[in-house]
Amino acid sequence: MKKIIFTDLDGTLTLKDTYTKFVLQNLKIGTVLKNIATLFRMYMNHSLGKINDDDVKKITFGMFFTGYDKQTNIDNFLKTIPWNPKVMNMIEQKRKEGYKVIIVTASPDVYVTHVCEYLKYDGFISTQTVDDGRYLSGALNGEVCNFEEKPKRITAFLGTEKPEHTISFGNSTGDHAMLNFCDESYFVNKLNIKRFKD
C-alpha cells in the first residue's frame, strides 16, 4: 500500500500566492483597461463579501487567460516562487520514508503541471482549465479545487486504492476538508507548522 502526502500549494508549499504572481507576470495593460469596470465591480463585491476568492479566480481567469498559449515558457516564474523551507523539508524527509507527494490546489493546471515537474513530485490535483490542445478558452472545467472539492477529487484520484497512510498540509479554511480527510494533517501559518485539529 502506498503512503501519500496531499499538500496545498499557495501559502503552504509557498510563502505567497502563486496565482496572483502568475496573473501579474502575464498581465497586459490593454486587457486591464478593457475590463477596468468589471475589475472594479469585482473588487467591491469581494470587499463586501458578495463573492469569494473562488469567484474572483473564475472571473480573472476568463478575463486574463482567454487565448493564453500553453507552450509559453514559464521558467522565470518557477525560479522566482518563494518556497516555504519548513514545509519543503518536512516533505523531503517523508519522501525518504517512501511517501509519494501529490499537490492539491485551487490554482489552475496550466502552471501547476510545471510546478509539479519542477519539484519532481508524483502528481497533482488542481482546478482544470479548457483548451483546444494549445490555447486556453478562458473557461474552467468543473469547480475550483477548494473546500469540499479537495477530498472529493482526492477520492476520485485514489479510486479503489486504500493508502497505508495519508498526510496533508494546508494553510486556510479551503483546506480544512482535506486536512480532516487525511490520517495525519498539519496547518501551516507561514513558517509555523502545527498538527491540525478542526
pLDDT at 53 (0 to 100): 86
- 84: closest CA among 22, 144, 8, 26? 8
What DSSP letter does each residue of 126-195 carry, written as one string?
A: EEEEEESSSBEEEEEESS-S-TTHHHHHHHHHHTT---SEEEEEE-SGGGHHHHHHSSEEEEEETTEEEE
Rounded Cα–Cα distance for residues 108 and 142 (Å): 12
pLDDT at 62 (0 to 100): 92
List pLDDT tens digits, range 95-132: 999 999 999 999 999 999 999 999 999 999 999 999 99
pLDDT at 12 (0 to 100): 98
pLDDT at 29 (0 to 100): 84
Which portions of the chain are predicted below pLDDT 50? none
Rounded Cα–Cα distance for residues 94 and 114 (Å): 22
| Residue 105, H or E segment | strand 99-108
